[in-house]
Amino acid sequence: MSTLKAEKITLPGLPYALDALEPVISARTLELHHQKHHDAYVVNTNRLVAGTELEGKDLITIINSSARETKYSALFNNAAQVFNHSFYWRCMSPKGGGEPHGEIARRLEEDFGSYEEFVETFVAAAVTQFGSGWAWLVLHDEKLEILKTSNADTPILHGHTPLLAVDVWEHAYYLDYQNRRIDYLRAFMAKLVDWDFVNSNLSDITK
C-alpha cells in the first residue's frame, strides 16, 4: 500500500466505486467510513506525529514505536487504524466472496479442516469480539490462525502476518444492519472477500 511508505501519511483511494459493494455495504456507509472515519485517522496521525522523533517515518515504524510509549497512545490509535482500514478495503471486491481458490484454499482446508469450518470459526470470532475491533485471518509460525483485536490493535504488533480482515466497529455496518452484526459478517464472507488479495498476501510471504 502506498500509504505505508509516504513521509506524510495519506488517505488511499478505494479500489472500487462507492456503490460497488451494494447491497452488502451501502454507498452511504462506505462514504462515511472511508471519507470521514478513515480520513480522520489520517489527519490525526499527521497532526500527532508532527514535531516528534517519529515524524517522517513510515507507517509501520510509527505503529511499532508508538505502541510501546504511553505518551504516544493517541498516535498509535490513529496510525494503527490507518493501517487496519487501508488493509480492510483491499480485502473486499464487488466480484468477491464464496469459496476461495489457489494456495489459500489448500491452506484453509489443511489448517481448519474445510472452508466451511473456517467460515464458521471466523464469523464466530468476529461476532464475539466485544465492543469495537477486528477479526483477522493471519499467518503465524507457518500456520493459519484467526485473531481478534480490540479497538486499534493490529496483528503486526504480535508477530502475525495479516491475510484477511473484517472491521466490526459499528460504523462499518450499523447504517445497513443495525445490531445484526452476524448478518453483515455472513454477507461479507459470501459476497465480498477478495481471495485474490488474500492469495497475494500469501505469495508475498513465500517469495
Q: What is the mean pLDDT of residues 187-207?
A: 90
Strand order in the sheet with 143-150: 143-150, 133-140, 161-167
Beta pairing, strands 143-150 & 161-167: unpaired
Whether residues 52 and 121 fall in one domain:
no
- Cα–Cα distance between 24 and 30 in angstroms, integer? 10
CATH number at residue 158: 3.55.40.20
Does the predicted TM-score (pTM) go above 0.85? yes
Residue-number span of the structural domain to which 59 is assigned: 26-90
* Residue 165 shares a structural domain with residue 79: no
Q: Would you list the DSSP string of 87-114?
A: HHHHTB-TT--SS--HHHHHHHHHHHSS
- Residues 85, 114, single domain; the answer is no
What is the number of structural domains in the chain?
A: 2
Flag whether pLDDT at 206 surpasses 70: no
Amino acid letter, residue 145:
E
18 in a structural domain? no
pLDDT computed for residue 23 by the predictor = 97
- 81 occurs within a structural domain: yes
Residues 55-100 have pLDDT tens digits of: 999 999 999 999 989 999 999 999 999 999 999 999 999 999 999 9
pLDDT number for residue 8: 83
Q: Are residues 125 and 200 in the same domain?
A: yes
